[in-house]
Structure 1
């Protein structure tokens, strides 16, 4: 059989290809290097990432409540540490503030403020002790607010209320301090055990024992 030149070339190419084994890919295969290159690439080995020792071992729970400072003391506790031998002015200076603390102390401070805010500290102390002594006497309501709002006793009271107070004023802050001093019995009254008082400008003709006068007020029991 006579083959053409084209057919002969086709047969020769087929025979040659069947004798060449395909390239094998193995783990030991060397990386390809460009012809004429003097740089031999290095093998990169991936290392596992280890946890840093600087990182916290346990994250705090942001929802947990913050622990209270066990050394923190309340304002009320610090008030009890005032030197009992200090002067009235020194005690007032240490306790002066705009917040009496609670409703009962608010009533006591209001009574002192409206009845004696223009008086000396001793005069304010005497008025505060009258309110406290009434509450302790058994003859009047047993609370500061009860004494303050008892009908017909204090002219500034209207039913169960009294005028607004300028809490940033020095007079109100002094009244708050006097109220705390009276409530804790930190300073004796100059007119002890008095239950009544009136302004010197009036003469109600009371048949009671007169204890004394402080500033513009006369005190009785």
Structure 2
């Protein structure tokens, strides 16, 4: 580049700078004038942005109570290997309430000559009836129901020989049946009769078991 050319370029740059710089000064002057106008008009400075301060976490110690699901009634467990063994384990000296005494009396008078499984089945029928709305709701009222048990004297039960071994077995069987300690072959039966009779109603029932001289139905 020649010396003359360089001089022309330099002069052009100086001229451009001279034109541009006054423009910048004008912009600055306009901004300053706007600020002065706001100050004179008494306008307040814009409020500073609110600072967001997180609230502290508060832990409340309270007992959490949750309803527990209903548990099914636990079955009565026994270590007896047979019903006869279980009968021997039952404490028959424990005082009985009236209902349990009626149950033991029914076993004694209706089935004391039967095997233990037959005695348990008779007790089970009485219990099943007391839980069936077609029959009275207590053992005594089931046994006393008119025309159901031939050993009854109207609504009165004869006096058993309470000192006999047969009564002791009947008491044990009543307690075993009442507490559900041994499963009866009678299941959910609510009817039974001796095998030497054939009542008309038996043809309309479902036979569940026959134990010695008794046949059980539902």
For Structure 1 versus Structure 2, the TM-score category normalised by the shorter chain is: 0.5 to 0.7
1:211 aligns with one of 186, 208, 212: 208
Q: How far did 1:81 drift?
A: 8.0
**More helix per residue: 1 or 2?**
2
| CA distance in structure 1 between the aligned counterparts of 2:156 and 2:104, rounded to whole angstroms | 14
Q: Partner residue of 2:173?
A: 178
| CA distance in structure 1 between the aligned counterparts of 2:168 and 2:120, rounded to whole angstroms | 14
Q: 4+ residue runs of structure 1 moved beyond 3 angstroms?
A: none
| CA distance in structure 1 between the aligned counterparts of 2:168 and 2:95, rounded to whole angstroms | 9
**Closer/same/farther in 2, CA of residues 176 and 100 from structure 1, 3 Å limit:** farther
1:87 aligns with one of 82, 89, 96: 82
8 Å Cα contact 1:129/1:182 also seen in 2: yes
- CA offset digits 1:77-105 (Å, max 9, x no partner): xxx98625542111100115366511010
8 Å Cα contact 1:166/1:172 also seen in 2: yes
| CA distance in structure 2 between the aligned counterparts of 1:105 and 1:200, rounded to whole angstroms | 27
> Which of the pair has more CA radius of gyration?
2
Q: Give 3-state SS (helix, strand or coil) of 2:131's partner.
A: helix
Q: TM-score, normalised by structure 1?
A: 0.61
**Closer/same/farther in 2, CA of residues 194 and 93 from structure 1, 3 Å limit:** same
8 Å Cα contact 2:76/2:179 also seen in 1: no
Q: Gapped runs of 5+ residues in structure 1?
A: 1-79
Q: Partner residue of 2:217?
A: 220
| CA distance in structure 2 between the aligned counterparts of 1:213 and 1:100, rounded to whole angstroms | 32
- CA offset digits 1:132-180 (Å, max 9, x no partner): 0000111111100010101111011112212111111011100000000
| CA distance in structure 1 between the aligned counterparts of 2:94 and 2:158, rounded to whole angstroms | 17
Q: CA RMSD in A?
A: 1.8
| CA distance in structure 1 between the aligned counterparts of 2:89 and 2:107, rounded to whole angstroms | 18
Does structure 1 residue 132 correspond to structure 2 residue 114? Answer: no
